[in-house]
Every structure is written in structure tokens, then in C-alpha cells.
């Protein structure tokens, strides 16, 4: 690794923003028809070429009259006028009115020659060939004169105006059926890495393939920021193909974004391609996440290299790149939506870098908004949806204390705080329950995580299974039993009927992390077997050949994949996966709520739902 | 009008909302590919079918080791391990490591068999065939175990989830390339009225044609609310064609919206078609604007008849219809954006109906937000863009006093208060100036309106021309001269050289409303002529044959249209319209600012801009 270069002189967030700001991303203008103009940004001044209305227009249903004829009219002293016709909207007035005459007129119709006002129908009574006018009108009353709405020559909209339905209405009124608008910047997206596979292709885990998360995520984020995204075929780590794809994208786009392959390692080819064949403006930032960010120029396009991890890529995109795309598209700055919250738990920071800490929000029983850090480690994609926003923590801050007040920048301005926050077991009955709630958040990370987060005052409810005990300060809302046992290959080739067979048959058994109730139920059954055999429990455990998995469905999946002879499982999982099931008993599942959250709206809704079942 | 039916028992706003809420607008579900899923609303539960990652994954660049081999390693006491290979992301590990060995590994690569941790590259030094480890690691350190991000079987997203880039990232990660989403309701839009012409067709003003404003406006508003709009060919007032188009739309759409033709008048056919052939659920509401609103059912579709005036139609749509479309599309309620403001002027209400009063916003010199009513009369489309929102005024309120505090519901959540508010003359130099400012609002309604609004404390600046005087409490920011005179038909067939010719030649002269500086300049010139001829000014005025128009460009346009022999005009207007110009002199144009707004940011920007010219 002699070629490895350290990131020296990491740029500050301000320098990164300024460098991105210096890029030329604007894409010029284009024409848009009125039907397709919504949301676009005007690039020209619009001047009315016609008067609106183009004629003196009846503003009410009623009778067109000479105002002078109505001077003496009143409720008690109606004035009779001879009716000499009827005029609907869209009709050409064929006769004018003389003194003493009136024409019945509809809203929107042309005021006939000779008339100068309209008496509303409610102030009239029709008689045979005449109309009784019960209200005096002044000249111009209930008439919209030609050009009174928009006069020809008026500057009606200026450049930079965003076209909402209201502007589209005004453009319609003046007969403007196409406008010159800002063309959104075209943003090319390139994911690099030999290990990446598109979401619609099947993974091979043996060589460590993973799905390409960044391409579609960043494409969606580009569109959200007002750009046009163009996703290029994913390229491997080969310098030639990276250079070719970069060249094509640079020729077709205003900005090219890549993700991954941007560190100064010899393996990270894109960095070298930009350094050698393009122009490197900035490499490395002191912002966390985001260290290996690159800003540069390649051929005629601007180039930004985002970090490879999805959360890092999206954070850098959102904070630094999206504002530049919005500006180039002519959109106003994104309305920053922030929420003030108190930290639910402590967050520590190891190093002196400005950090965007992903946090999620929850309301406690008193309606106070709490923020808790969400970080399942580098590269976790669940952080994307388990968090609601970030806290911008400066480089000098080494930790945030519980109850410390923080400002959370929400990922979406219209993001709502989850109505209910739970953590614990996975269970099909629970999934059905969650589907019926509005905006629940549930972290299916096992019973022990459920207990811990409830005890820490983070979650509203925990779902706990097997022998794991609920926290002291909790209230059981519901409980049920579920069957557990062993998944074995279809047809049960090893004739497994119980735990004895696992030990005596020297079978490879997939077990599960002690997080899960299932692990507790399995251990308890081993204990029982040890007692019945009069052997030490530890001896029995040692004589089992096991591979431990992370989650409650994983053991059965190992059996399906042919990687284990048997696996600890729930009956429902075995049924879902269509694998043979050997029952070993039942375990209890409990939904418990934090005692001080019982009256919270989301918990009440859950209780009502459970009560109605 | 014997068939005319009064609106009896007008429904309250609450009844209107409840009736619309009772309509069945949901459109079912459809599949969306991941590329097209942004903004869509999930209609299914998504469960992970794979572990993410699918293998134990190096989380950092470095060396894969057995953690036990590093127990004694430290900065001062490095441990040497033999390097037995290199593993990049995407490579299948071909060899396992034994005690005392290490394999160089990239972030994202598969942890090789035998290894249980990764030492980060910064804590190592490469030597010939071996690596010095300067930091002890624990088992699992810098490794993301299989399933640690997402375990197969985890419920990752629930129904009703709106798909933002973050959810798209998570779906990518689990290889979910298409999802079942709510299908947005299809909303058919029908404009009725013989007088309507689409914006891309030419108007004939003689029979009172106007452009169809509602079709594109409501279509854009439907899309904004999350629906799919379908605009039908505009129909006249003929019962057969209305019924045919309604039937077609009802068969193709979940909701049909019409505008206009909904009053109980005999002329308003759509009302009768719904009443006779469909089901009328509600007719007429006490909300203003919106009285002739209809709610019903036609064939299998829901039907809502909106008022014909664009501001009324869009107000009823925004307040009552958009929430129902959003709900049917599965979108959360629109975040209501409100602004607290003080009334700048008084607003009076004639009748006891709940009213949505269109208002615009402006900041005064102290940063206080003022609201002023915007109402150019029924049917004015400029109200659409000259207002920023509405004040919901209950039926009991007869007036709002100046300085009274009101809550303004903004039309758009991200609407920004204009940086500068001006009113007065139209002028090409002014247009250029305005184009250079950010979010100015300018009401080109003449000098006198400019003076009045400045005196009322509404506007920041007024632009005044001719002999009209600036208000006392104002400061001149800039002034210039402009040439004015007469527009005459090309080639000047009547040989007009001055005002004498207008009088002596018995020509028809288009003049302009006294709002405008141009009218003052013209009157002053007539005065001067009267003096020089030794005649009474009134006599001279009477001997002129004139038609008065509303706006400063209108007289010249009348000449172009052949409706006048001469027209009062600015030289620049004559040049723009390519009509022959006879100069009569110059008039002064002034931009004046309210003395108490001089330090407001938008006024400062304007002053800076003027100073730099």
C-alpha cells in the first residue's frame, strides 16, 4: 500500500460548500407548454398582449341598463324598463339599448352598446315584456370594463417566478400557451465497484456482491432537488471503463456524480481518473460522514465524487449538492425544516470533525420531543429510514448528554414524527398490527434491544418473547403464544424429531443471536434435555455443532439454502419459507408499554386496536 | 327567468367538507418500478427477503485478522503478521487465514474464512511479506456481520409509507425493484361555457370570448394535490354535449370536476344534467366565494361542480377538494402554512357568509408583516397571483380594522413574502429594473393607485408619471424623462402633426384613464393649446371626439386595431407596437419610496441597484 495517500488538509464544510458553489451547473432554458409548466421556473418576462377581459363584461346575472334610468328605483318604487332581448355569455350583442330599455344578461356576456351598468337579477322582477328594477345602479356597476383585470402591456410575471396553478391561471387568461423556462440541470449518476449489482438482479454473496443502493437513491434525490437524473450503467473498478463512462456522462450532463471509489487508496480508481484526466478542485472534507468527497471538473461537466456508503452519500448530497442543483434549476432555497428536541440518550464523538449525526424522533408521555442517535455502523442502509434527520454537531463537541437540547434538521420538510415507536421481536401477528397503525416505527432487532430501548426511555413499547423478562417499569398490553421448533430440509432426510437427534446425529444446527426469544427458548430446551439425560448443560451445548445467525428467520433460511441440517425457527417462519417444521413447544410473546407512555396518543391507539381484536 | 331557482338552505363549509369526504375517490393500487417510485405511497408491507449484507463484510480498509493474534499489539509493541493475500470488494475469498496470518482487505470485501476482525489500515505498516499491527482488535471489530443491516424476514416498510429517496435506498438494498403503490385518483376536468376559448386559440372579443382559465389551473392544482388530471375538450352550454362529455369523463375518471354553469339558472345546464341524470348530494354553500358549488355523483364517478370564476374555483378546490384528493392518493394532510399578519387597510363584508378573503403580504419598515385585501372584483384572474393567501373570516365578522391581527393561510407552504412591493406606472425602464430584483411584486395600475397605496401604508414604492404629485411622506429614489405623443395608423394617413389636427380633423382619439401620467400630460397639452388659441379649455375638450381606455398601452392598441384615428401613447409603446408616432413632448417618471421603508432590505436592494446604474 505504498501508493496510498493520506487525506491531508481536509476541507471544512464551508470550503466544500464554496467549491461546489463555484461549479457551473446551469443548463440554459427551454420552452414548456402551459400543460407542462407546473413547477417550472420562468426564464423570461411575460407581458400581456391582450386586454382581459377584451370587452366590457357583465359581472353578474341580471339586466343591462342605462344607469341613468334607475336613479329613482327602490324597493318601494320600482322602475319598469322594456326588455328588448337576452344576451348569454359568448353571444355577440346584436342590438343596442335605448333609454327606458333593458336586456336580460348573463354573467360573462358582452355589455350591449348603450348600456353602462347591470342590475343584479335579485333586484328585479320579470313581467310580461318588461322588468321591474328595484335598485338604483351607478355607471359601471356590476360591469368589468375591458382591460380591468389585465391591461395589455402589463408586465404580469417576471423571470425567476415559479409557476404554480395560480400563475398558470394568469397565463391562461392572457392566452400565453407556452413559456420559456429554466432547463433543470442534467445530473449523471455513476456507481462504481465490482461488488455492485442492480436491485433487479440476483446477488451472489460468495464474492460479496451487494445491491447498488446509491444509483436509485441519488437519482431520486436529484429529482427531488429539481434536477434531471440520468443513471449510467454501473462500472467496475477498471480504470478504462470508468474513464469511458465518465467521458460519456460528462458529454451528456451538466453535473456528474459518482459514489464510492473516491478515497486516495490505490484501489479507488475514480480518484486517479479525475486527478489525472480532469481537474481536482477539492479532495477530502473534515465533515463526518463525507471524508472522501471529491469536487472537480471532467471534460465540460462539473464532477462531484460522493462517499460510497449510502448514508454518507445521501448526507453529503443533501447538505452540499442539493442546494447547488436547486439554485441551478432556479428553485428557491429549500425551506429548512427543523425541530427542537432533547437527546434521549448520550452520543459520543471520537474525533474532532464536524458531524451530521443521524437521529430519530419520538414524543415522550408528556409530549416532549426526544431525539436518539441512529447508527447501526458504517454502511447500514436502515439508518436511511430509521432516522428522521441530522444534528449538525461542531468539531469541538465531544458528546451530547441525555436531555441536552438539540436542533434536528429534518430530512423532509413534511416529515411527521412517528406516532408509535417500538422495538423487539419479529412476529407475523405484530406485522399485521403495525400495518393497521398510522406511521408506526418498529425496530425488529430482538427482545433484548427492545428491553434496553424501553429502559433507556427511548421507545414506547417493546415486544418480548421467550424467557426474556419485561422491564420493571412496563405494563403488558397484550400477549400470545407462538409455536417454535426446528426447520429441517423438505422431507426431513435426517428424521429429526427432537433435540436428541441434533446431538446424536452430529447435525449442523443454525442457531440465533441471544437477542431473540427463540434463542432463549432453545437454550431452555437444551437445559431440560440435559436434566433428563442427567448431563451437564454445558457439555450438551458443546456437543452441538452450531452456526449462529443474526435474526429470527435466518436459521430457517440457512436450512433452505442448504447451509445447515436444521435451524431453530418459529412455526410461522417455516410455513412462510415452505420448509419442514418439527415442533418443540410454544413461547410467550408480550407487547409491553413504558408505564409513563400509556396515555400517549399512539399508545392509546394501539391499546384501542388491541381491545377491539 | 321563471325557472330560476334560488339557492335555499345553503350548506355550511363543514357540511360541504363532510359531503366531499363521503365521496369514494380511491383508485386502487398499481405496480411501480423503483426508478418511478419516488413520491408514491406504498400499498403493501415490504419484508426483506435477503440478509443485508449477505456475508460478513469488512467495514474498513485494512487487514483481516484473527482478533486473538492482536491482543498484545500496541503503538509501541506492534505485532507482525504474515500477509497471505489481498481481497477487494467483489472478490471471492479463495484462501482462509490461519493463526499469525493477515489478508489485506478493502471496505466491502468478504471477510475471509478464519478471520474475525479487521485492523484499520491507519493502525498498520506494511513490510516485505508481512504487516505490523499497532492496535488490538476484538472479534467482530470493523466487520459488519451478515444480516446486521437488514435481517431477512424483517418488516422494513409498512403500507401508507411515502417513498422518498431514503426509502428507495432501503428498497434497493434489499433488492426490491418494484412495489405496489396507491394509484392516484384520476380527475377529469370539464370547463363549460360557450364563451370559452383555449389559451392556444385566438380570441374574438365581439361575442365576448375569453380564454379558458380553469382547465389548466385546476389540472395543475389536481397534480399538485397528488391526483392525475385529464382535461376534456371544453363544452358549450348545450345539454346534449355536456351530458356526453360528463358520461365519458365519469367512465374514465374517479372524480369529475366541472367549473361554471353550476348556478340554478336556466342557462346553467350542467346543474340540470346532474340533477336529472345523476345524483345531487349538495347544491350551494354559504362560503364566499363558492356559492354555486355542487357535489354529486354521475354514473360511477364522484362529481364536484366548481364555481366559474377562477379565484372562486381555485379557492373551493384548495380548501375542500384538494384534501380529498390527497387522502385518496394516500398522501398526508397538506402541511398548513400560516402567517400571522396585521391588516394594512380595512376590509368590509357586505353579507353574513363565511368568507375566504384573498390577501397579499408585505413587510413594513419595522419588519412587521402586513396583509392587505386583494380584490379586483369578481372574475379577476390577477387576484390569483397578486394574493399570497386567504384569511378565513367567519360569517359574524362585518369588517376587519387596520392593524387587526389575522391569520393568513398561504397558497403555498413555501411561498415567500415579496421582497419589494410597488405600484404605479408601466414603463420599459421599470420592467428592466424589476427583472433584476428577486421576488418583487408590482401592481401596474397607474400613478394614482400608486400614490394611494403608498399613502395607505401598503406599498414600499410608487412609480409616478406626468403631472401627478408624489405623496408628502415619500423620498424620490430615481427619475427619468420619457417621450409621449400620439400613435397614428402607419403612414399617418390623416397627416397628424399635433393636437390641433385632432380637433380640426374631427378625428376619433383614444385617451386613457386619469390614473395614468399620460392622461395628465395630455390634459396639460390641451390646456396649453386652449391658452394659445385663446379658447376655454372645456370647450376644446368637448370638441375632441374621444374613447377612454383603461391602461397606458391601450390607446395605441386601439389605433393598431383600427378602432381609433389616433391614440395618446408613450414613444416606447408606439415603437413596441410598430405604429407611427407623433411626438408631443416628454414627461417625468419618478420612483418614490415611503419614508419609513427606506431601510427595508428590498428597498435598499433597489436603491443599490439604482445607484450602480
Mean pLDDT of A149-167: 93
Per mean pLDDT, which range of A97-106, A233-242, A359-368, A594-603 is the poorest?
A233-242
Confidence of residue A278 (pLDDT cuts 50, 70, 90): very high
Measured between CA atoms, the residue of chain A closest to residue B211 is A173
**Final residue belonging to a domain, choices B329, B346, B375:** B329
Whole-angstrom distance, CA of residue B11 vs CA of residue B23: 16
Whole-angstrom distance, CA of residue A388 vs CA of residue A374: 9
Residues A517 and A384 in one domain: no
Number of Cβ within a 10 Å radius of residue A552: 30
Q: How far is B419 from chain A (nearest CA, A)?
A: 13
Residues B250 and B209 in one domain: yes
| pLDDT of B475 strictly over 90 | yes
**Final residue belonging to a domain, choices A390, A410, A430:** A410
The three cell numbers locating residue A238: 477498471
- Size of chain A, expressed as the number of residues it contains: 613
Confidence of residue B265 (pLDDT cuts 50, 70, 90): low
Is A129 contained in some domain?
Answer: yes
Is A6 contained in some domain?
Answer: no
Which of chain A's residues have a Cβ under 8 Å away from the Cβ of B45?
431, 435
Which of chain A's residues have a Cβ under 8 Å away from the Cβ of B237?
88, 90
**Final residue belonging to a domain, choices A329, A357, A377:** A329
Quick check: pTM over 0.95? no
Mean pLDDT of B358-372: 95
Is A149 contained in some domain?
Answer: no
pLDDT tens, B520-545?
999 999 999 999 999 988 888 888 99
Mean pLDDT of A307-318: 91
β-pairing verdict for B62-65 and B117-120: antiparallel
C-alpha distance across the termini of chain A, in Å? 63
In this prediction, residue A505 carries a pLDDT of: 85
In this prediction, residue B38 carries a pLDDT of: 95
Residues A526 and A395 in one domain: no
Q: What is the CATH number of the domain that holds A69?
A: 2.170.190.11
Mean pLDDT of B497-504: 90
Please indicate whether residue B505 or residue A598 has the higher confidence score (pLDDT). Answer: A598
| pLDDT of A260 strictly over 70 | yes
Is A321 contained in some domain?
Answer: yes
| pLDDT of A234 strictly over 70 | yes
Which of chain A's residues have a Cβ under 8 Å away from the Cβ of B312?
none
Residues A376 and A308 in one domain: no
pLDDT tens, B173-228?
999 999 999 999 999 999 888 888 999 999 998 899 999 999 999 999 999 999 99
Q: What is the CATH number of the domain that holds B252?
A: 3.40.980.10
Asked if A149 lies within 8 A of B416 by C-beta distance, the reply is no
Number of Cβ within a 10 Å radius of residue B313: 29
Cβ–Cβ under 8 Å, residues A449 and A548: no
CA atoms within 13 A on the CB side of B27: 27
Averaged pLDDT of chain A? 91
Whole-angstrom distance, CA of residue A253 vs CA of residue A247: 10
Residues B202 and B312 in one domain: yes
The three cell numbers locating residue B126: 506494511
Residues B581 and B600 in one domain: no
Which one of B44, B122, B210 would you mutate to disrupt binding with A, by most A Cβ within 10 Å of its Cβ?
Answer: B210
Q: What is the CATH number of the domain that holds B165?
A: 3.90.105.10
pLDDT tens, A554-583?
999 999 999 999 999 999 999 999 999 999
Is B7 contained in some domain?
Answer: no
Q: Which domain holds residue B544?
A: 481-588
Residues A445 and A590 in one domain: yes
Q: How many CB pairs under 8 A join A and B?
A: 409
Q: What is the CATH number of the domain that holds A458?
A: 3.40.190.290
In this prediction, residue A2 carries a pLDDT of: 34
Peptide bond preceding B531 in cis form (omega within 30 of 0): no
Is B2 contained in some domain?
Answer: no
In this prediction, residue A266 carries a pLDDT of: 54
| pLDDT of A264 strictly over 70 | no
**E-only strand ranges, A276-425:** 279-283, 294-298, 301-306, 338-343, 347-348, 355-363, 369-373, 389-393, 399-400, 405-410, 420-424
pLDDT tens, A6-38?
455 789 999 999 999 999 999 999 999 999 999
In this prediction, residue A350 carries a pLDDT of: 76
Q: What is the ipTM of this complex?
A: 0.90
Which of chain A's residues have a Cβ under 8 Å away from the Cβ of B51?
550-551, 554, 557
In this prediction, residue A270 carries a pLDDT of: 82
In this prediction, residue A352 carries a pLDDT of: 77
| pLDDT of B350 strictly over 50 | yes
Residues B355 and B450 in one domain: no
Q: Which residue from B210, B216, B551 is facing A35, i.e. has the nearest CB?
A: B216
Residues A274 and A307 in one domain: yes
Is A357 contained in some domain?
Answer: yes
Mean pLDDT of B140-166: 92
Residues B194 and B309 in one domain: yes
Whole-angstrom distance, CA of residue A10 vs CA of residue B214: 55
pLDDT tens, B377-418?
767 889 889 999 999 999 889 999 999 999 999 988 777 789
Whole-angstrom distance, CA of residue B253 vs CA of residue B217: 18
The total domain count for chain A is: 5
Please indicate whether residue B281 or residue A267 has the higher confidence score (pLDDT). Answer: B281
Asked if A416 lies within 8 A of B332 by C-beta distance, the reply is yes
DSSP-assigned states of every residue in B312-378: HHHHHIIIIIHHHHHHHHTPPPP---EEEEEESS-EE--SSS-EEEEEEEEE-TTS-EEEEE----T
Scan for cell 471534460, then name that residue: A299
Asked if A90 lies within 8 A of B435 by C-beta distance, the reply is no
Residues A315 and A189 in one domain: yes
Whole-angstrom distance, CA of residue A5 vs CA of residue B456: 68
Residues A222 and A278 in one domain: yes
Amino acid at each position: 500500500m505504498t501508493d496510498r495517500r493520506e487525506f491531508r488538509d481536509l476541507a471544512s464544510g464551508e470550503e466544500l460548500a464554496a467549491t461546489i458553489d463555484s461549479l457551473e451547473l446551469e443548463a440554459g432554458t427551454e420552452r414548456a407548454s402551459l400543460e407542462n409548466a407546473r413547477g417550472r421556473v420562468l426564464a423570461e418576462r411575460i407581458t400581456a398582449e391582450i386586454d382581459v377581459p377584451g370587452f366590457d363584461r357583465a359581472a353578474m346575472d341580471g339586466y343591462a341598463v342605462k344607469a341613468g334610468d334607475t336613479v329613482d328605483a327602490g324597493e318601494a318604487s320600482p322602475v319598469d324598463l322594456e326588455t328588448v332581448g337576452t344576451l348569454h355569455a359568448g353571444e355577440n350583442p346584436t342590438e343596442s339599448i335605448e333609454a327606458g330599455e333593458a336586456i336580460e344578461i348573463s354573467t360573462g356576456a358582452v355589455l350591449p352598446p348603450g348600456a353602462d351598468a347591470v342590475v343584479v337579477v335579485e333586484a328585479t322582477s320579470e313581467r310580461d315584456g318588461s322588468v321591474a328594477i328595484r335598485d338604483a345602479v351607478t355607471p359601471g356597476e356590476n360591469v368589468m370594463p375591458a382591460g380591468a383585470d389585465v391591461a395589455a402591456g402589463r408586465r404580469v410575471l417576471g423571470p425567476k417566478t415559479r409557476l404554480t396553478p395560480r400563475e398558470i391561471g394568469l397565463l391562461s387568461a392572457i392566452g400565453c400557451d407556452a413559456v420559456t423556462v429554466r432547463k433543470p440541470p442534467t445530473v449523471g449518476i455513476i456507481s462504481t465497484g465490482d461488488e455492485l449489482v442492480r436491485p433487479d438482479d440476483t446477488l451472489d454473496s460468495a464474492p460479496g456482491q451487494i445491491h447498488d443502493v446509491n444509483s436509485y437513491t441519488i437519482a431520486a434525490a436529484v429529482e427531488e432537488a429539481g434536477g434531471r437524473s440520468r443513471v449510467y450503467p454501473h462500472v467496475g473498478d477498471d480504470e478504462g471503463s470508468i474513464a469511458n463512462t465518465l467521458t460519456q456522462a460528462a458529454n451528456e450532463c451538466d453535473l456528474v456524480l459518482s459514489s464510492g471509489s473516491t478515497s486516495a487508496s490505490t484501489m479507488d480508481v475514480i480518484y486517479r481518473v479525475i486527478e489525472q484526466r480532469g481537474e481536482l478542485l477539492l479532495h477530502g472534507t473534515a465533515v463526518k460522514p463525507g471524508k472522501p468527497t471529491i469536487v472537480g471538473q471532467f471534460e465540460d461537466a462539473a464532477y462531484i465524487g460522493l462517499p460510497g456508503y449510502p448514508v454518507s452519500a445521501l448526507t453529503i448530497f443533501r447538505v452540499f449538492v442539493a442546494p447547488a442543483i436547486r439554485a441551478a434549476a432556479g428553485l428557491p432555497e429549500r425551506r429548512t425544516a427543523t425541530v427542537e428536541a432533547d437527546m434521549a440518550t448520550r452520543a459520543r464523538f471520537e474525533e474532532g470533525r464536524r458531524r451530521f449525526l443521524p437521529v430519530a424522533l419520538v414524543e415522550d408521555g408528556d409530549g416532549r420531543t426526544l431525539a436518539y442517535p441512529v447508527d447501526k455502523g458504517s454502511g447500514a442502509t436502515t439508518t436511511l429510514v430509521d432516522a428522521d434527520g441530522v444534528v449538525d454537531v461542531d468539531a469541538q463537541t465531544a458528546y451530547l448528554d441525555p436531555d441536552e437540547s438539540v436542533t434536528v434538521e429534518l430530512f423532509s420538510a413534511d416529515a411527521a414524527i412517528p406516532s408509535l415507536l417500538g422495538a423487539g421481536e419479529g412476529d407475523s401477528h405484530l406485522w399485521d398490527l403495525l400495518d393497521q397503525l398510522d406511521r408506526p416505527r418498529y425496530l425488529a432487532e430482538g427482545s433484548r434491544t427492545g428491553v434496553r430501548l424501553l429502559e433507556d426511555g427511548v421507545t414506547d413499547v417493546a415486544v418480548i418473547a421467550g424467557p426474556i423478562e419485561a422491564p420493571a417499569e412496563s405494563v403488558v398490553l397484550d400477549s400470545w403464544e407462538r409455536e417454535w421448533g426446528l426447520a429441517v430440509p423438505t422431507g426431513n432426510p435426517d428424521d429429526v424429531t427432537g433435540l436428541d437427534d441434533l446431538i446424536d446425529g452430529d447435525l449442523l444446527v443454525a442457531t440465533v443471536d441471544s437477542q431473540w426469544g427463540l434463542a432463549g427458548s432453545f437454550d431452555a430446551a437444551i437445559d431440560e434435555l440435559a436434566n433428563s439425560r442427567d448431563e451437564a448443560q454445558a457439555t450438551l451445548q458443546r456437543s452441538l455443532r452450531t452456526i449462529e445467525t443474526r435474526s429470527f428467520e435466518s436459521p430457517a433460511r440457512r436450512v433452505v439454502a442448504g447451509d445447515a441440517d436444521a435451524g431453530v425457527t418459529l412455526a410461522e417462519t417455516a410455513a412462510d419459507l415452505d420448509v419442514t417444521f418439527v415442533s418443540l413447544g410454544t413461547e410467550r410473546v408480550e407487547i409491553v408499554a413504558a408505564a409513563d407512555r400509556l396515555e400517549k396518543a399512539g399508545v392509546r391507539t394501539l391499546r384501542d386496536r388491541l381491545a377491539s381484536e
